Structure 1
Amino acid sequence: MAPSEFKTTGSLITALFERYKTNMQRVAHGILKNADEADDAVQDAMIKIIKNIHMVDDIDSRRCANFVYTIVKNTALDVFRKKQKEMGQMVTNDISDFVNIIGEEINFDVFEPDYGFSEGMQEYLSQLNEMDKDIICLRYGNDFSDEEIGRLLGMKPDAVRKRLSRARKHLAEIIEERGNANG
């Protein structure tokens, strides 16, 4: 449903939350392994979604689902990192190993994983860390601008552009390496 079909922004937000709440909870709980922390992460994610509600074009679209799940995932990862830091434990810069571990517990189909990419490209993308993968998928799979991606991921547009450039270069290296291995 398009935002124009709702009488108020409040009814749009309510419909969006009702549509995605179960999967938002699954994503957050899969990362945090704690129901209360997952609830808090979903609440924080909803605040970010509300601040960017203008980016919602159709609550039933793949673009909207990816928008919602990316915000929830990154919010939960931020909570996880903060918790680890508070506990004085070492946190790695590459959270992708952790995210891959939780893949067994979460139905990642809710992420609309193909973003319009072929199966082969999905395999290449899986070799990237989560942040780079998110940036490439949001840019090329969902047509988000640097500014929109920056708001979603808490980065400046210039940082998004640099990260996107590096991610594309890394992706090209992965594709070339795989091509050489198969050829």
Structure 2
Amino acid sequence: MPLAPPSRRSLKHTRSIQIEAYAREDGLWDIDAQITDVKPREVRLESGARPAGSPVHDLRLRLTIDTEFNVVDAQSASDAVPYPGYCDTIGPAYRRLVGLNLARGFRHGVKERLGGIQGCTHLTELAQVLPTAAIQAFAGEVIDTRGAGQHSEKPFQLDRCHALRTDGPAVARYYPRWVVKTPAEAPSN
């Protein structure tokens, strides 16, 4: 279902986030992320004016991970920033992501290692969306997401969102082996 029709409005800002995942020939994966902020009008900053349509932010973050979601390398680049010579010096700090695991405590680790003045607000925010992007990249490639009867382990995605809760109708329909009956539904002895 689409969003409700908007009232009359004019575009003031566009933030774009793009994430691409690549399987490498060495068995590792690169998760490349980019965030851009663009305004349709000239922006006057303390550091100088930015022409309409040129990025105020154009930032990139690459995490190299293994198939267990461990971050084995991290790098960042700042191609457009509001304060050149200042914003773009924080890039090496993102090596602090090495050793974190995207599937276990990653967001907390990012805040702890790069929150506030320890990092760039935008790169740190971008890092926060990478766990689910990596899971999507691994789905069907590294992680078996099928729930057919021959699998002995519960599919990874179950109980990770509202739709795929094991006591819900989607799991009952698509993953019946893994459905959990609520006390009211369970047969009594």
Coarse TM-score class (shorter-chain normalised): under 0.3
More contact order relative to length (CA 8 Å, sep ≥ 6): 1
TM-score normalized by the length of structure 2: 0.25
The higher radius of gyration belongs to: 2
TM-score normalized by the length of structure 1: 0.26
